[in-house]
Structure formats: C-alpha cells, structure tokens
Amino acid sequence: MTSSPTPPPAPSGAHERHRPLRRLTARGRDEAHRVASPLELFFDLCFVVAIAQAGVGLVHAVADGHAGNGILSYAMQFFAIWWAWMNFTWFASAYDNDDALYRVVTLVQIAGVLVLAAGISRAFEDHDYTVVWLGYLIMRLAMAAQWLRAARSAQGAERTTALRYAGGILLCLVGWLGLVVLPEPARPWVFLVMAIAELCVPLYAEKVSTTAWHPHHIAERYGLFTIIVLGETIAAATAAVKSGVDEHDALGELLPIAAGGLLIVFAAWWIYFVVPIHGRLRTSRQAFIWGYGHYLIFASAAAIGAGLEVAVEQAVGKAHISTLAASAAVTLPTALYLLTVWALHSRYFKVGIAQQLVLPVTALLVIACTFLGDRAVLAAGIVSGLSVATGVALTARMLSKERRTAGASGDRATTPVV
C-alpha cells in the first residue's frame, strides 16, 4: 500500500497570521486593499450608543430652556467619546494585527464607552462626572496598554513615539480626575485645559516618528462613522415624530419638520462623500487638521438629530421654548456642519468662485431660515437640497465646457467628477 505524500510545510507567514498572540508591529502605509475590519465596525456602533445618550441630554436641556448649559455639557461629553474613538482609529490603522489580545483590549474599550454612556444623563442633570470619568478611565487605560504593547515590539524612534503616546494618555487621566474632585464652577476650566493637553499628546508623540496610518483606511473609517452618526440622527428624529403623532395627533405640524430634517440629512451625506478625500491625507499636518476638525463635523451631525427632536417637542407643546429657539436648534448645527465640511475638504476640490461659494452661502441661508417660524426646518431642508443640486449643476457645466475644449484641441478632459 502506497503511503500518501506528506503535505508541504505552510509558509512561516501563514503560521504567524493564525497564531492567537503575535507581535504588534506597524502595518504598511501603502498596503493594498486595506478596509475596515468587522471589529472596527462593531466598535463604531457601540460608540454611537454614547453619542445617542449625549443627544438625549442635549434635547432635554434645550427643550427646558437651558441651552447654554446643555451645549457646554454636550461639548464635554462628546469630546470624551470622539477623542477615545479617534485615538483608537488612528492606532488601529497603523498597528491592527487582529490577534486575540488585540481583540480583547479593544472589547475592553467598548465596555468603557458603554460605562461612559451610562453616566451621561447624570452628568447632564446633576453635573456628576464620576461614571463618565470611570468609563473614560477604562477606555484610556486600554489604549495605553495597546501603545505599550506596540512599544515592546518596536525599536528606535518608533518605540519612543509609542511610549510618548502611552505616557501622555496616563498623565492626562490624572488631570481628568479634576472633573470629579474639584467644585462645579471649576469643571469647565478643567475640561478646557485637559482637552488642550489631550490634543497635544499626538503632536508631541509624532515629532519623533510618524505612525504608519493608512490614508485610504482612515478616510473610510471617518466616512463610516459619519454615516453611522447621520443614521442615528434619522433614528432619533423618526422616534420623535412617531411619539408626537401617537401622543398628540399632530401630523400636520410634524410633516414639515420630518420632510425638512430628511432633506438636511440627505444633503449632509451628499456633500461629505462627493469628494475623494483620502488623496489629501498624505502629510501629518494635513492629517492633524482634518482629523481634529472632525470633532465639529461629528458633533454637529449628531446635534442636528437632537435639534429635530427639540423642534418636534416644541411643535406639540412639550418644549418650554419659543419657535425661534426650536428652529435654531436645527439650523445652527446644520450651518456648522456645512461650513466645517467645506473647510476641511470640499473646498480643495471646487474649481472657480461659484463652486467655492455654494456651501458657505448655503450655511448663511440656512441660518436665515431660523426666522421663518414653524416652517423654518422645512425651508432649511429645501435650501440644503438646492445647494446639492446647484453643486451638481455647476460641476456638470464645468465638465461639459472641458469636454468641448478638449474636443476642439483633440485632447481628453482630465477633470474628475466631484
């Protein structure tokens, strides 16, 4: 009887990929076909739970006539959520090896954001940040552990960068304790100082060596999170409209708000994804401005949903504020979103003064819609939709002109469709 042939040994790389524990080394910055992993998508979805809770707190504060305190609390809670999300996103882009320990530590971070989400309502209502700080502590200790693990596998400047990240995270955790132990009037100042300190940690760490983040992967991760936040905005607004119809039978008052809100969200999606932003993420300076600036994009996108809920509550008589204030709760974050998206990446792909002015002018018109009474949200939605249509028309006109010019000269038009 002939014995079966012995299979050839698997390549060492194949063995390495299937080991439950592997060295946490940097991935290639030009790695082909780099996409978001299932773990990253799960991570994003869990973080949106905390964003939803921050939105609920903002709705209650604005609807009760405490817009100033509500916006401040919202900014503070949202910073903790966004900063933990962003730190993991850039780290994962550079070091994700998807082994068992990496997954477990990432799941610990998810547990941390769920703890933080559980404390958001108490932070809004009683200004008690104990649970929020505990959730943030869990997330940041896990992030520091990831950096220490990366430092263990690195050498030279890369090791120094990883240690700087870990040390900066741990030092900032001590400072954030001020939100728990200091008196309430001092807490906004603690937040301001510590937010600046947190923002400085990557700037300090990356002076030694730039981490190997992947431009296309980073652009995809931010885009996916934008979609999830906009989806949460639609979900929150839908729930508010349903509640208003069921409890108050106010379909006539709510339909304009629902239609306007839907147009705003559709326009917000369109203008964000109309340009291929990953092509601009090539230097650290561009990456820092773009990455940090998304705090305003994410926060304003989520605040649009909160504003729509406030508008619904005001329309059915549940909110103790004026129509003007309820309208501003929608139009102001919408205008901020439009301006921030334009400033961070849309303007780099616009050709000519007409295209450049579309989004800034739209933002001003949306703010003007605030004064249109109970039709303000619908008007803001129509203006947002018309801005998209105008941008498409201007682009089509430019491309048509280029094709005619190219046809006359015998060359092909090279302007991308944006």
- Give the pLDDT confidence of 166-180 residue by residue, as tens digits: 999 999 999 999 999
How does 238-268 read in b/e, with b if 16+ C-beta sit within 10 Å?
A: eebbebbbeeeebeebbebbbebbbbbbbbb
| More reliable by pLDDT, 417 or 28 | 28
- For residues 364-374, average pLDDT: 94
- The answer, yes or no, to whether residue 299 has pLDDT greater than 90, is yes
| More reliable by pLDDT, 110 or 250 | 110
- For residues 247-272, average pLDDT: 86
What's the chain's average pLDDT? 86
pLDDT band at 105 (very low <50, low <70, confident <90, very high): very high
Query: Does residue 359 share a domain with residue 297?
Result: yes
Query: Does residue 153 share a domain with residue 302?
Result: no
Q: What is the pLDDT of residue 197?
A: 96
| More reliable by pLDDT, 250 or 376 | 376
Q: Is residue 28 part of a domain?
A: no
Query: Does residue 375 share a domain with residue 257?
Result: yes
Q: What is the pLDDT of residue 10?
A: 40
Query: Does residue 326 share a domain with residue 256?
Result: yes
- The answer, yes or no, to whether residue 41 has pLDDT greater than 90, is yes
Q: Is residue 46 part of a domain?
A: yes
Q: Highest mean pLDDT range out of 10-19, 20-29, 375-384, 390-399? A: 375-384
- The answer, yes or no, to whether residue 404 has pLDDT greater than 70, is no
Which segment of 6-15, 105-114, 340-349 scores lowest on mean pLDDT?
A: 6-15
Q: What is the pLDDT of residue 18?
A: 60
Read off the amino acid at residue 317. Answer: G
Domain end among 211, 231, 248: 211
Token pair, residue 195, equals: 């937010």
Q: What percentage of the chain reaches a pLDDT higher than 90?
A: 56
* Number of residues that this document lists for the chain: 418
**Cβ-based burial of 301 (10 A; exposed 0-12, middle 13-18, buried ≥19):** buried
**pLDDT, tens digit, for every residue of 62-93?**
998 888 999 999 999 999 999 999 999 999 99
Query: Does residue 256 share a domain with residue 111?
Result: no
- For residues 361-366, average pLDDT: 95
Domain end among 181, 211, 241: 211
Q: What is the pLDDT of residue 12?
A: 41
Query: Does residue 72 share a domain with residue 201?
Result: yes
Q: Is residue 14 part of a domain?
A: no
- The answer, yes or no, to whether residue 386 has pLDDT greater than 50, is yes
Q: How far apart are CA 337 and CA 363, in angstroms?
A: 9
- The answer, yes or no, to whether residue 399 has pLDDT greater than 90, is no
Q: What is the pLDDT of residue 2?
A: 40
DSSP of 79-130, one letter per residue? HHHHHHHHHHHHHHHHH----HHHHHHHHHHHHHHHHHHHHHHHHHHH---H
Q: What percentage of the chain reaches a pLDDT higher than 70?
A: 89
Q: What is the pLDDT of residue 413?
A: 45
- For residues 288-300, average pLDDT: 93
Q: Is residue 42 part of a domain?
A: yes
Q: Which domain holds residue 386?
A: 214-418
Instruction: Return all residues near 322 (Cβ < 8 A) that are at least 6 apart.
Output: 314
Q: What is the pLDDT of residue 394?
A: 77
- For residues 26-55, average pLDDT: 89
Torsion of CA 282, 285, 291, 297, to 10 degrees: -110
pLDDT band at 362 (very low <50, low <70, confident <90, very high): very high
Tell me how many domains the chain contains. 2
| More reliable by pLDDT, 367 or 216 | 367
Estimate to the nearest angstrom the gap between the alpha carbon of 393 and the chain centroid: 29
pLDDT band at 277 (very low <50, low <70, confident <90, very high): confident
pLDDT band at 19 (very low <50, low <70, confident <90, very high): confident
pLDDT band at 418 (very low <50, low <70, confident <90, very high): very low
- For residues 229-245, average pLDDT: 84
Instruction: Using alpha carbons, list the distances in angstroms from residue 321 to 8, 71, 332.
Output: 75, 15, 16
pLDDT band at 210 (very low <50, low <70, confident <90, very high): confident
Q: Is residue 23 part of a domain?
A: no
Query: Does residue 125 share a domain with residue 110?
Result: yes
Query: Does residue 163 share a domain with residue 44?
Result: yes
Q: What is the pLDDT of residue 357?
A: 86
How does 307-344 read in b/e, with b if 16+ C-beta sit within 10 Å?
A: bbbbbbbbbbeebebebebbbbbbbbbbbbbbbbbbbb
Q: Is residue 31 part of a domain?
A: no
Q: Is residue 126 part of a domain?
A: yes
310, 62 contact by CB (below 8 A): yes
Q: What is the pLDDT of residue 318?
A: 84
Query: Does residue 389 share a domain with residue 349?
Result: yes
Which segment of 256-260, 280-284, 326-330, 403-407 scores lowest on mean pLDDT?
A: 403-407
Domain end among 211, 234, 262: 211
Query: Does residue 245 share a domain with residue 141?
Result: no
Q: Which long-range contacts (CB under 8 A, 24 or more apart) does 378-383 make?
A: 378/256, 378/257, 378/259, 378/260, 379/260, 380/260, 380/264, 380/330, 380/331, 380/334, 381/259, 381/260, 381/261, 381/262, 381/263, 381/264, 381/267, 382/260, 382/263
Q: Can you give the CATH number for the domain in which 386 is found?
A: 1.20.1410
Q: Is residue 25 part of a domain?
A: no
Query: Does residue 183 share a domain with residue 41?
Result: yes
| More reliable by pLDDT, 227 or 404 | 227
Could you give the 3-state DSSP secondary structure of residue 71?
helix
Cβ neighbours around 270 below 10 Å, total: 16
Q: What is the pLDDT of residue 104?
A: 95
Query: Does residue 236 share a domain with residue 157?
Result: no
Q: What is the pLDDT of residue 87?
A: 94
Q: What is the pLDDT of residue 407?
A: 59
- Residue whose structure tokens are 């320990």: 101
